[in-house]
Amino acid sequence: MTDEKFLITELVLTAHLYNQSDKLTVDDLPQKIRKHYWDEKEKTVKRPMYVTEGDIKSIYGIENVKNSTKLLPFLEFEDFGSQIKLNIFDLAIKWVTKHPEAVENINKNPVLASFFENYDSLPVSYKKAKASILPKESGREWINSLIKTIESEKGSEDMLKLAHIVAPEDIQQNISDLVLTKAQEDEIEKMTKAIQYRDYLKRIGLREIGKLLFVGPPGTGKTSVARAISGQLKIPIVEVKLSQIADQYLGETAKNIDRVFELARRLSPCILFIDEFDFVAKARATDEHAALKRAVNTLLKAIDEISLVEHGVLVIGATNHPNILDHAAWRRFDEIVEFSLPDKDMRKKILDLILRNIEGTFDTEEIAKITDGYSGSDLRLIAREAVLNGLITERTVLTQQDLIRGVAEFNKRTHLKKLDESA
Ligand SMILES: Nc1ncnc2c1ncn2[C@@H]1O[C@H](COP(=O)(O)OP(=O)(O)OP(=O)(O)O)[C@@H](O)[C@H]1O
Ligand SMILES: [Mg+2]
């Protein structure tokens, strides 16, 4: 826990330096401070930034601000408005330099680092501080501001209703929580680089990049990987299900598709995740609905027109039924990423990963052997059953028997489901 006096001084000094220098941007403020002072309408932290007792309480949870500041001769507590002012700048700087926690904290605060790297001989750097914090675009408050702006425009309600938007900081599973094939890992790596080097790609005119189709049976990690990429790249993900867009009023479908793409452009850089892509094929197969066909054409055209390099939108389609997609749909994507049911080795790895925080003695190799044809999601359900089996007898230490029972119960359930489906 950082010293309260240091935190207060850091905030007052950060505000002071931020107010003074127009070279510093809102991206240089540490997240905690940025979030607190965020102006939703202007989408920035406005200058001048003031520091009051209430600000300190709400940012750091420090209760007795007055007591702490009394001991700092360079701060002045203005009773009126309870604003805290920096009185003697040089003294504050000296005090910070001598503080044992200075280096560690300055290296996480680009505003301070930009000042202190040219001052004295503290081993701090602006670059390092900058690398330690997230850009404003990945914060929930940035996305909320954008959504608010969009909401305030006429006719925008429909656009927002169609998609589910997730901020990268809210993503639960990251890449390391998933067991991936080498091909999947390579693809993620490529896209990460493509987004980083967008300007370069634009310059050399390489535009045919950034449209992926994830193909594979249910529960093999397509949605999870798309989200994990968003978490890794620190960009939001806009998720849509094609069947939902086409719901109810068919006449609106084409318009809805345009709305979703428009939303993605507004949120860029972002990922646009289009789930149930096979819907396109189904729609083409029916000849009753001219409106639906029009919608599909709109979708294919929209995919053609959007680009990662130009607009900062990475398009990821996902489907369980690749066999029904026609050539027109396939050729929109520059990479096809396969999500197969995991083989024995992968199943073992997935089980090890799922069970990594669970105490007990069990042999995942053996479970992997008896779960041929199971998806990652099935394995998760088995693990859940096994844990619950243990809990029934008040055990939090898992046994092999619990896992085997988990498999049996899972089988029983899928059997019932199949009966239901064939009925
Ligand atoms: N390779 C894997 N490694 C670890 N967990 C996995 C893997 N595959 C699937 N899972 C887990 O299974 C669950 C379901 O996965 P997810 O929803 O991503 O599948 P999906 O391919 O999108 O399925 P659907 O086609 O039904 O939409 C998630 O909790 C995910 O973590
Ligand atoms: Mg999915």
Q: pLDDT tens across 193-207, in order?
A: 888 888 889 889 888
CA of 197 relative to ligand 1 center, distance in Å: 29
Lowest mean pLDDT among 57-61, 81-85, 249-253: 249-253
Q: For the segment 312-331, what is each residue's pLDDT rounded down to a tens digit?
A: 999 999 999 888 888 888 88
Residue 211 CA to ligand 1 center (angstroms) comes to 20
- Quote the CA–CA distance of 69 and 65 in Å, as a whole number: 6
Per-residue pLDDT for 418 more than 70? Answer: no
What is the Å distance from ligand 2's center to 143 Cα? Answer: 23
> Can you read off the two tokens belonging to residue 272?
């646009």
How far apart CA 327 and CA 35 sit, in angstroms, is 47
Predicted pLDDT of residue 285: 64
Say which residues have a Cβ less than 8 Å from residue 112's Cβ, sequence separation at least 6. Answer: 10, 13, 14, 17, 96, 105, 106, 124, 129
| Residue 33: closest CA among 13, 191, 22, 336 | 13
Average pLDDT over every residue of 25-53: 91
Q: Among 150, 114, 119, which Cα is nearest to 129's?
A: 114
Is pLDDT of 221 > 90?
yes
What is the CATH code of the structural domain delimited by 138-338? 3.40.50.300
The yes-or-no verdict on residue 2 having pLDDT over 80 is: no
75 forms bridges with which residues in the sheet? 86
Say if residue 381's pLDDT is above 60. yes
Dist. CA 410 → ligand 1 center (Å): 16
| Local confidence band at 287 (pLDDT 50, 70, 90 cut-offs) | low
**What distance in Å separates the CA atoms of residue 213 and residue 94, rounded to the nearest whole number?**
57
Report the pLDDT averaged over residues 174-186: 93
Nearest ligand by distance to the CA of 227: 1
Residue from 184, 346, 348, 377 to probe ligand 1 pocket by mutation (most atoms less than 8 Å from CB) = 377
Lowest mean pLDDT among 129-138, 220-229, 341-350: 129-138
DSSP count for the chain of H helices, then E strands = 23, 10
Nearest to 178 by CA among 131, 229, 216, 138: 229
Q: Which residue has its alpha carbon closest to ligand 1 atom 4?
A: 178
Ligand 1: atom nearest CA of 225 is 18
CATH fold, domain 344-422, is: Helicase, Ruva Protein; domain 3 (1.10.8)
CB distance 228 to 185 below 8 Å: no
CA dist., res. 309 & res. 209, Å (int): 8
Type of residue numbered 270: C
**Looking at residues 34-46, what average pLDDT do you find?**
89
C-alpha span between 274 and 80 (Å, rounded): 55
Residues 6+ apart with CB under 8 A from 16: 86, 89
Q: Does residue 48 have a cis bond before it (omega within 30 degrees)?
A: yes
Ligand (nearest to CA of 217)? 1
Q: What is the DSSP letter of 205?
A: T
Residue nearest to atom 11 of ligand 1 (CA): 377
Instruction: Round the average pLDDT of the chain to a whole number and report it.
Output: 88
Computed on alpha carbons and rounded to an integer, the radius of gyration of the chain in Å comes to 27
Q: Is the CB of 317 under 6 A from ligand 1?
A: no
pLDDT tens for residues 321-363? 888 888 888 888 989 999 999 999 999 999 999 999 999 889 9
Give the CA distances from residue 158 to residues 85, 150, 162, 272, 291, in Å, rounded to whole numbers and listed in that order.
47, 11, 6, 17, 18
Q: Is 241 helix (H, G, I), strand (E, B) or coil?
A: strand
Kindly state if the Cβ of 268 falls inside 6 Å of ligand 1: no
Return the higher-pLDDT residue of 7 and 327: 7
Judge if the beta carbon of residue 253 lies within 6 A of ligand 1: no
Summarize pLDDT for 134-171 with one digit per residue, the tens: 777 777 888 888 888 877 877 677 777 788 999 888 88
In this predicted structure, the answer to whether residue 288 has a pLDDT above a threshold of 70 is no
Ramachandran angles phi, psi of 275, nearest 5°: -90, 160
Q: Which two tokens stand for residue 80?
A: 């009126």
Contact by Cβ (8 Å): 140, 132: no
- Residue 110 carries which side chain, given as an amino acid letter? P
* CATH 1.10.8.60 domain locations along the chain: 344-422
| Dihedral angle of Cα 132, 136, 137, 139, to the nearest 10 degrees | 80
**What values do phi and psi take at 173, rounded to 5?**
-100, 130
Mutate which of 173, 223, 319 to test ligand 1's pocket (most atoms within 8 Å of Cβ)? 223
Atom number of ligand 1 nearest to Cα 217: 25
Ranking 96-110, 145-159, 298-312, 392-406 by mean pLDDT, the lowest is 145-159
Cβ-proximal residues to 304 (8 Å cutoff; 6+ apart), any chain: 332
Give the mean pLDDT of 284-303. 78
CATH 3.40.50.300 in the chain: give the residue spans.
Answer: 138-338
Q: How far apart are CA 396 and CA 153, in angstroms?
A: 53
Q: Residue 88 above 80 pLDDT?
A: yes
pLDDT category at 69 given cuts 50, 70, 90 is confident
**Tokens, residue 226:** 């798309």
- Tell me the pLDDT band of 172, cut-offs 50, 70 and 90: confident
Q: What number is the average pLDDT over the span 68-92?
A: 86
What is the percentage of the chain residues whose pLDDT exceeds 90? 52
Average pLDDT over residues 170-184: 91
Omega before residue 135 within 30° of 0, cis: no
- Tell me the C-alpha distance between 324 and 60, whole Å: 55
| Cβ–ligand 1 contact at 227 (below 6 Å) | no
Of the bound ligands, which one is closest to the alpha carbon of residue 351?
1
Residue % of the chain over a pLDDT of 70: 94
Q: Tell me the sheet residues that pair with 239.
A: 164, 273
178 lines ligand 1 (CB under 6 A): yes
**What tokens were used for 205?**
């005119």
Nearest CA to ligand 1 atom 16: 221
Distance 406 CA to ligand 2 centre (A): 23
Q: CB of 27 within 8 A of CB of 139?
A: no
Is the per-residue pLDDT at 419 higher than 70? no
Tell me: pLDDT of 423 over 60. Answer: no
DSSP string computed for 156-177 = -HHHHHH-EEE-GGG----GGG
The two three-digit tokens of residue 388, written as one number = 């619950």
Would you call the peptide bond into 342 cis, given omega within 30 degrees of 0 as the criterion? Answer: no
Per-residue model confidence (pLDDT) at position 249: 63
Average pLDDT over residues 47-70: 90
As given in the structure block, the two tokens for residue 78 are 């203005």
Whether the CB of 179 sits within 6 Å of ligand 1: yes
Can you tell me the mean pLDDT for 372-380? 95
